[in-house]
């Protein structure tokens, strides 16, 4: 089994908070839960490995490739679902999709249409009218529509009602059932991970505990 992501010696400081020598790996074919209380360093770690914030030091490899020098190639193979959404609120779902789809070589319009129908999302609806659960489903539809091999999700079930959380977990199971995939799923709701996680990584105070 190959490692789909390898992180070694990651250090990052934000004011009084710091990530301290973060090292872990994700095997291919696994849903890996990244757990810790709010403020433990989960989001900072995810943003650092995705290159969304500058790291102080460390080495990151996706699919055996260094992020430095291969960022575009790597991000084409990753689906990202962040807690804050990162969408333009005044656009419709279809308009926002057009902005995002152009960034991916393997974008599949039919996959996007299928997920929108599965999630009961209206492409003409404006993003600022979506509930938190609908935003998460939309972000997931985008992330799954370019043949991503690794899905990275930051607190995807936070603030969602139990029914929507259960639907989301079933979607992840279906995604993994296609083979050759991986999910890195940060959360402080450990009951969700009990249902689907193959591996767990715990962070506390900016350090990996186990």
Residue-wise pLDDT tens digits, 127-182: 999 988 888 889 999 999 999 999 999 988 777 888 888 888 888 888 898 888 99
Strands of 28-95 (E only): list them: 31-35, 57-62, 65-66, 78-81
The closest alpha carbon to 142, from 184, 108, 91, belongs to: 108
Based on the number of CB atoms within 10 Å of its own CB, is 10 exposed (0-12), middle (13-18) or buried (19 or more)? Answer: buried
Q: How many beta carbons lie within 10 A of that of residue 164, not counting itself?
A: 18
Q: Find the mean pLDDT for residues 182-194.
A: 86
Q: Mean pLDDT lowest for which of 28-37, 143-152, 185-194?
A: 185-194
pLDDT of residue 10 exceeding 90:
yes
pLDDT at 158: 78
pLDDT at 83: 67
pLDDT of residue 41 exceeding 90:
yes
pLDDT of residue 13 exceeding 80:
yes
Using DSSP, how many helices (H) and how many strands (E) does the chain show?
A: 7, 10
| Separation between Cα atoms, residue 82 and residue 62, nearest integer Å | 18
Give me the percent of the chain exceeding a pLDDT of 70: 98
pLDDT band at 20 (very low <50, low <70, confident <90, very high): very high
Question: How many domains does one find in the chain?
Answer: 1
Q: Find the mean pLDDT for residues 31-42.
A: 92
Q: Find the mean pLDDT for residues 95-124.
A: 94
Give the domain CATH number at 166: 3.40.50.300
| Separation between Cα atoms, residue 160 and residue 167, nearest integer Å | 11
pTM: 0.90
What three-state secondary structure class fits 56? coil
pLDDT at 151: 95
What three-state secondary structure class fits 24? strand
Q: Mean pLDDT lowest for which of 36-45, 78-87, 123-132?
A: 78-87
Question: Where in the sequence is the domain holding 120, given as residue range(s)?
Answer: 3-208
What three-state secondary structure class fits 51? coil
């Amino acid at each position: 089994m190959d490692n789909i992501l390898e992180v070694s010696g990651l250090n990052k400081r934000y004011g009084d908070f710091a990530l301290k020598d973060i090292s872990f790996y994700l095997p291919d074919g696994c849903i890996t839960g990244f757990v810790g209380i709010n403020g433990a360093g989960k989001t900072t770690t995810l943003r650092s490995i995705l290159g969304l914030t500058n790291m102080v030091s460390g080495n990151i490899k996706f699919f055996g490739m260094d992020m430095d020098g291969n960022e575009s190639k790597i991000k084409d193979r990753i689906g990202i679902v962040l807690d804050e959404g990162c969408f333009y609120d005044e656009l419709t779902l279809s308009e926002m999709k057009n902005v995002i789809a152009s960034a991916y070589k393997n974008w599949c319009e039919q996959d996007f249409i299928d997920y929108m129908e599965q999630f009961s999302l209206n492409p003409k609806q404006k993003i600022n009218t979506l509930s938190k659960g609908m935003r998460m489903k939309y972000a997931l539809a985008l992330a799954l529509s370019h043949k991503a091999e690794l899905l990275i999700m930051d607190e995807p079930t936070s603030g969602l009602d139990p029914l929507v959380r259960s639907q989301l977990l079933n979607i992840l199971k279906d995604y993994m059932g296609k083979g050759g995939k991986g999910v890195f799923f940060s959360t402080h709701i450990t009951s969700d991970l009990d249902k689907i996680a193959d591996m767990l990584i715990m962070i506390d105070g900016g350090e990996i505990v186990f």
